[in-house]
């Protein structure tokens, strides 16, 4: 009898421990939870392309000679552009609508992670670092000169350019320079493996 009770207690303990591990490993980080709350001109992260286009129209990126641009969108009248994920939640069913993984804004009325266009680089960098973001300074990484925490990447721009091919990726901005654009991206590593 005691042996059965002991085995039952051990099994209940192991089941509880397994559940705790599963819940903590699948829960979103705080920065990812904050990312999900961001809404810029009614566009939010992980929103489907179908929903975005129902609100604002197609917004295609018509950059000449750009392969893979069908997943980019640009709405100059909204002062934003972005990119959809080619793989997020679509692993086995490519009929699903792609989801927003990146937004760039040049709108000085928008704040993300307590930083906004029109602030100095010094102030924004202090804010990002206080929230645990670190500068990616490996020039061979796709996210070179982005600040990151978990899978969330933020780039501060010294130029107000919505077409990402036209921005100066090497210039980080000096302390008193004014931020003219901000890119926020949720990193989807499977997308980086695609060759267009």
pLDDT digits (tens, 9 = 90+) for 25-39: 345 789 999 999 999
**Can you spell out the DSSP letters for 146-193?**
-EEETTEEEEEESS--SSGGGS-SS----TTSBP-EEEEEE--HHHHT
CB atoms within 10 A of CB 139: 9
Helical residues (DSSP H) of the chain, grouped into ranges: 2-26, 30-37, 49-56, 121-130, 189-192
At 141 the pLDDT is 83
> Residue 100 in contact with residue 43, Cβ under 8 Å?
yes
At 144 the pLDDT is 85
Model confidence at 74: pLDDT above 50: yes
Reported pTM:
0.80
At 164 the pLDDT is 66
Model confidence at 17: pLDDT above 60: no
Q: Is 8 helix (H, G, I), strand (E, B) or coil?
A: helix
pLDDT top residue among 178 and 65: 178
Instruction: List pLDDT tens digits, range 183-194.
Output: 999 999 888 887
At 70 the pLDDT is 65
Instruction: List pLDDT tens digits, range 78-111.
Output: 999 999 998 888 766 667 789 999 999 999 999 9
- Average pLDDT score over the chain: 83
At 152 the pLDDT is 97
At 124 the pLDDT is 97
């Amino acid at each position: 009898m005691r042996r059965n009770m002991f085995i039952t207690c051990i099994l209940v303990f192991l089941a509880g421990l397994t559940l705790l591990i599963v819940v903590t490993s699948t829960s979103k980080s705080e920065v990812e939870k904050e990312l999900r709350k961001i809404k810029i001109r009614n566009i939010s992260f992980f929103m489907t392309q179908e929903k975005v286009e129902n609100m604002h129209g197609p917004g295609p990126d018509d950059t000449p000679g750009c392969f893979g641009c069908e997943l980019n969108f640009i709405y100059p009248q909204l002062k934003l552009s972005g990119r959809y994920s080619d793989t997020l939640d679509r692993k086995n069913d490519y009929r699903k609508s792609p989801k927003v993984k990146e937004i760039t804004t040049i709108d000085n009325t928008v704040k993300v992670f307590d930083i906004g266009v029109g602030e100095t680089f010094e102030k924004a960098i202090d804010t990002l670092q206080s929230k645990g973001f670190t500068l990616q300074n490996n020039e061979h990484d796709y996210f070179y000169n982005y600040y990151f925490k978990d899978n969330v990447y933020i780039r501060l721009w010294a130029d107000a350019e919505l077409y990402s091919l036209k921005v100066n990726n090497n210039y980080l901005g000096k302390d008193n320079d004014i931020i003219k654009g901000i890119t926020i991206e949720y990193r989807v590593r499977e997308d980086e493996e695609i060759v267009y």
